[in-house]
């Protein structure tokens, strides 16, 4: 199952949220979504109903590249 947008309780329409950091060094804009993940190995993870941040990241050897697409 991939990321899914949470739904409003009344209309069941998709609700979207984002983080906007105009001068951020990690990213400029990230959308939030519900996330679930499982990992097997030396360290096992089973995380349900958490969240994830999804962002396009463009970097060079000098840091974040602004305005890249």
Q: pLDDT tens across 36-65, in order?
A: 889 999 999 999 888 888 998 888 888 888
pLDDT of residue 31: 92
pLDDT of residue 51: 85
Q: How many helices (H) and strands (E) does the chain have?
A: 0, 5
Query: How many domains does the chain divide into?
Result: 1
Q: For the whole model, what pTM was predicted? A: 0.59
Residue 35 neighbours by CB under 8 Å, 6+ apart: 3, 47, 50, 51, 52
What range does the domain containing 41 cover?
A: 1-69
């Amino acid at each position: 199952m991939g990321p899914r947008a949470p739904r409003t309780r009344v209309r069941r329409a998709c609700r979207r949220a984002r983080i906007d950091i105009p001068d951020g060094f990690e990213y400029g804009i990230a959308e939030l979504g519900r996330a679930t993940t499982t990992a097997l190995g030396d360290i096992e993870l089973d995380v349900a109903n958490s969240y994830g941040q999804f962002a396009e990241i463009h970097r060079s050897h000098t840091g974040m590249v602004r305005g890249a697409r």
